[in-house]
Amino acid sequence: MDEESLHERLYGKKPEEVKYGEPCPLCGSRIDEFGMCACDSE
């Protein structure tokens, strides 16, 4: 089973369909459940 299929089984949707909230206004990446983005940690 590939990673995408595993994720779909776990969460009932594909990775790109899982949304944690607003995308980061700086880089466009999804912000995680803590409201943090990797680009903001420097």
* Interface with Zn ion (CB under 5 A): 24, 26-27, 37, 39
Nearest distance, CB of residue 14 and Zn ion, angstroms: 22
In the complex, the smallest distance separating the C-beta of residue 39 from Zn ion, rounded to whole angstroms, is 3
| Segment holding 9, helix H or strand E | helix 3-11
Instruction: Write the CB contacts of 4 (distance below 8 Å, at least 6 apart in sequence).
Output: 14, 15
In the complex, the smallest distance separating the C-beta of residue 12 from Zn ion, rounded to whole angstroms, is 26
Under DSSP, the state recorded for 26 is T
